Amino acid sequence: MGIKLVIVGGVAGGATAAARARRLDEDAEIVLIERGNDVSFANCGLPYYVGGQIPRRKSLLVRTPAALSNLFRLDVRTRTEATRIEPAAGLVHLRDLDSGRQYVESYDYLLLAPGAAPVVPSIPGIDHPAIYTLRNLADVDRIKAAVDGGARTALVVGGGFIGLEMVENLHRRGLSVALVELLPQVMPPLDPELAARLHQELTDHGVEVHLSDAVVAFDGHDGQVRARLKSGSLLEADLAILSVGIRPESGLAREAGLAVSERGAIVVDEHMRTSDPRIYAVGDAVQVRDALLGHPTTVALAGPANRQARIAADNIFGRVSRYRGALDTSIVRVFDVVAATTGASEKLLKARGVAYRKIYVHRGHHAGYYPGARQVTIKLLFTPDQGRLLGAQIVGTEGVDKRIDVLATALHAGLTVKDLEDLELAYAPQFGAAKDPVNIAGYVAGNLLAGDEQFIDPSELPAASPASDGPDGQEIAGWTILDVRQPAEFEADHIPGAMLIPLGQLRDRWREIPTDKPLAVYCAVGHRAYYATRILRHKGLRPWNIAGGLTSYRLVHPAPAP
């Protein structure tokens, strides 16, 4: 008889580990334990089943228990809960949830893939029947039944991935949706100035967005659920989705004496082995290493869970394999806007005291001469010395996924901004440009590091204030602001108090620029302003380029409604 492997948890990590184990060892005895009804289902697809984008429920069942069992010769036991581990004895206690039968299974190796549970805050009224969390097919069946049953309004609490995808899908079903988020922004991995694009997109679709707010109590009201917010607002809805975070399901591990982090994640080494040499753990429940900065972190993403599962199985069956840590590459679509990140955010770098520089690029996703180019915004973070990449964030409508994957690959490889200049990416008019936005990001970062350009962040400029001598009766106190676009662009919108000298006239008119205050130059996205600052530097001025131009400025300082 071969190795006996018991796997607890049969969704992404558990099912992958079982399949890999079988390919490595045809003789092994592999028992797959799953508390729910289903194994190997498409948890990332659940919101889209509610929204009808995925029309058939069975599409979500990547493999049924029977198929999985047959294909890999597994002993699959659904509706079975692991209640206790005896590591010294190599035993796991199981309970059949239907019959109630309790029994014990021995193992040579145990692999834990328990996942993470939605956090349910203990606030009054939280047990209202119209409040749902979303983790598995049973949950999604309940939510879909409520929507199919005629719900017309919904409240989504929490603006992370699941919250945003639920907002979109409930909206697609015709519901009026309100979103409440504790932070001042949705999608926490993004920095706030990029998240602003998502806020705009939500608002444009009629979603009522409550940021920096929280539900303090629920109650029932005329057959609806009513949420009282910290701000005092009252929101009523036919159903509420709670997606305020997740918590590693590490109770079983902790009770077995395995090392668990302060934040409740199972501690594993690079082989995915826990503090017990015969027990491995993978997925949302484990603590891994941040691939770039090295600190411990958790990552609740399907890709890394699958990767970890394969690595755990390899190590169990005698193949040395290491997990390189998490980059936290992620992407979300909210209506037409796509937002994606890889590596560290500026927030994270600040919090961890890591020195960095940053640039922004706003650029068409393919050549401008070919119809249909849509702007992508790239924020790039890198080390101040060598320009080694630290992180990237992208927001746009088309071509976002491609650029984030290129940058995730660059991060994996430890590339620098100079490498981004050199990347030879595929160009045909429909697909890119002779200088791809990623190349441009490399160039702009290179200019910054070479001292060819200095940037001021729009968030660092003071807000506009009344001034008697400004052309709009307004000014950015303490700065001269120069707009180098065309007059028609200036008339359509400009930074309050800015003076206008179009780039083409700058060589003749630069002496008009006051020199008593620091000078900040901008255009639409920063490109013409770069040319302008090169000219002005030659004249002996020390201009700043407003990073990302008016496009970035308006993310931080929205234009007043017309």
Q: Which of the residues 32 through 51 are near a copy of itself (CB under 8 A)?
A: 42, 44-45, 48
Task: For Cα atoms 310, 316, 319, give the angle at the middle one, nearest 5 degrees.
Answer: 75
Selected binder of a copy of itself within 9, 189, 381, 424 (CB under 8 A): 424
Q: By CB neighbour count within 10 A (0-12 exposed, 13-18 middle, 19+ buried), where does 515 fall?
A: exposed
Considering the rule CB under 8 A, would residue 386 count as an interface residue with a copy of itself? no
Tell me which of 51, 158, 432, 548 binds a copy of itself, using CB under 8 A.
432
Q: Which of residues 437-496 bind a copy of itself (CB under 8 A)?
A: 439, 452
Report the residue from 329, 345, 377, 552 that binds a copy of itself according to the rule CB under 8 A: 329
In whole angstroms, the minimum distance from the beta carbon of 369 to a copy of itself comes to 4
- Rule CB under 8 A: say whether 513 interacts with a copy of itself: no
Cα 160 to Cα 13, 163, 228, 378: the distances in Å are 22, 5, 21, 20
- Which of the following is catalytic: 24, 44, 67, 126? 44
Min dist CB 257 to a copy of itself, Å, is 31
User: Minimum distance between the CB of residue 95 and a copy of itself, rounded to whole angstroms?
Assistant: 30
By CB under 8 A, tell whether 499 contacts a copy of itself. no
Q: Is 110 helix (H, G, I), strand (E, B) or coil?
A: strand
Q: Which of 138, 145, 428, 477 binds a copy of itself (CB under 8 A)?
A: 428
x-marked contacts with a copy of itself along 60-99 as a string, rule CB under 8 A: x-x-------xxxx--------------------------
- Measured CA to CA, the distance from residue 94 to residue 100 in angstroms comes to 10
Name residues whose C-beta falls within 8 Å of residue 254's C-beta, 6 or more positions apart in sequence: 260, 264
- Taking CB under 8 A as the criterion, the residue among 200, 233, 397, 409 binding a copy of itself is 409
Q: Determine, following the binding rule CB under 8 A, whether residue 521 of this chain makes contact with a copy of itself.
A: no
Verify binding: residue 519, a copy of itself, rule CB under 8 A. no
Helix axes 65-72, 12-24, angle to 10 degrees: 20
Taking the complex as a whole, how short is the minimal distance between the CB of residue 426 and a copy of itself, in angstroms? 4
3 binds a copy of itself (CB under 8 A): no
> Quick count: other Cβ atoms within 10 Å of Cβ 349?
21
Quick one: which of 338, 349, 377, 350 has its CA closest to 361? 377
Instruction: Answer yes or no whether residue 342 interacts with a copy of itself by CB under 8 A.
Output: yes
Nearer to a copy of itself, 136 or 330 (CB): 330
Quick check: 205 binds a copy of itself (CB under 8 A)?
Answer: no
Residue 300 is a binding residue for a copy of itself (CB under 8 A):
no
Cβ neighbours of residue 303 under 8 Å, at least 6 residues apart?
329
Does 240 bind a copy of itself (CB under 8 A)? Our answer is no
CB-nearer residue toward a copy of itself: 291 or 348: 291
Q: Which two tokens stand for residue 36?
A: 């729910």
> Helix crossing, 302-316 with 12-24: angle to 10°?
30
What's the CA gap between 307 and 20, in Å, rounded? 11
The answer to the question of residue 135 lying near a copy of itself (CB under 8 A) is no
Would you call 44 a catalytic residue per the annotation? yes
Footprint (CB under 8 A) of a copy of itself, residues 365-384: 367-371
What is the bridge-based pairing of β-strands 296-297 and 544-546? unpaired
Does position 335 bind a copy of itself by CB under 8 A? no
Span 268-297, contacts to a copy of itself by CB under 8 A = 291
Size of the site for a copy of itself (CB under 8 A): 84
With contacts defined by CB under 8 A, name the span among 133-141, 196-204, 432-440, 549-557 that binds a copy of itself. Answer: 432-440
Radius of gyration from C-alpha coordinates of the chain? 27
Q: What is the dihedral of CA 309, 315, 321, 325, to 10 degrees?
A: 50
Cβ atoms within 10 Å of 86's Cβ, excluding its own: 13
Pick from 230, 161, 228: which is nearest to 195 by CA? 161
Our CB check for a copy of itself shows the closer of 278 and 289 to be 289
| Local structure of 503: helix, strand or coil | helix
Would you please indicate which residues are annotated as catalytic (active-site) residues? 44
